Amino acid sequence: MPSSYYLAELSATEMREAAARKPVILLPMGSFEDQGPHAPMGDYMSADRVARLIAEQASAEGTETYVAPVVPFGGADYFGYMPGGIALSQSTLRAVVDDMLECLLRHNLTRVVFINGHAGNCGVINDATQKVWLDKGIIIPALYLWRVSYALLPEIIGKEMAAKTSGHGCNPLTSIVMHLFPDLVRPEYMPSGTPAPREVWGLPVTGFTSLAIGEGSITVPLDGGDTIRNGVSKGDPHLCTAQTGAALVEKLIRIGADVAAHVVSHSDPETGKAIL
């Protein structure tokens, strides 16, 4: 086996040998933005680390898997208020994703999985992979880490605690960072308690770009800094723990390894086309 799970660390010889075996290649993506006043801005680091752990688990179970270099800058949405943050326009990100896929598919590296850590990347990934499906009959799945983690929280810490801790700047990401990068969390900067309800434009805030009106809601073209203070919404980050993060990461690794194995078992080994 090659010397690393990271493609960037393989020699050209190792890469050519691995490519001939048609391995699974994970494409980690994240963002570089406000994750709350206490957490490192680079959530791409968590996506990259989880991808590596998935590659290790999948490979140990017989599904040869590698991790491509992480895309650190997410698709721009509503975090432009953050000084120092860097994001790509949706059109630029789409061009980047299209080019990444074209480079891999050119060499018949068709067993690809996105490991995504940013909501602003979801639309681009969906559109780019749908085009590959329509043009080539190849299914490229995406594992959106935080969406899956939100769904796992009630099982791990109970429904009541999940409700108290879930939200941007809280669970799941804060707990996961506490587990993966404990030295980068700054508890002294955590805001106290659950954020108080806010009103903007005369309406209650329900999300970074959503406001309640009557029995319904509307979306508005505001920056996140206009609606959510300190990048923390709904939950209390003081209730996040490294133990919760460890449990989430363990489940994400299991799911990711299962996805890698499924991609292999449900794709033609020669053409890469999906076996439906």
Q: Is residue 55 part of a domain?
A: yes
Q: Indicate whether 79 and 193 sit together in one domain.
A: no
**Residue range 63-72, pLDDT digits in tens:** 999 999 999 9
Q: What is the pTM of this model?
A: 0.96
**CATH number of the domain that 14 lies in?**
3.40.50.10310
pLDDT at 1: 63
Q: Indicate whether 73 and 88 sit together in one domain.
A: yes
The number of residues making up the chain comes to: 276
Residues 115, 181: Cα–Cα separation, whole Å = 18
For residue 229, give its domain range.
166-239
pLDDT at 194 over 80: no
How many domains in the chain?
2
**Residue range 235-255, pLDDT digits in tens:** 899 999 999 999 999 999 999
Q: Indicate whether 24 and 121 sit together in one domain.
A: yes
pLDDT at 192: 79
Mean pLDDT of the chain: 96
- On whether the CB atoms of residues 83 and 42 are closer than 8 A, the answer is no
**Which stretches within the chain are classed as H helix?**
12-20, 44-60, 90-106, 122-136, 145-157, 159-165, 173-180, 224-227, 242-265
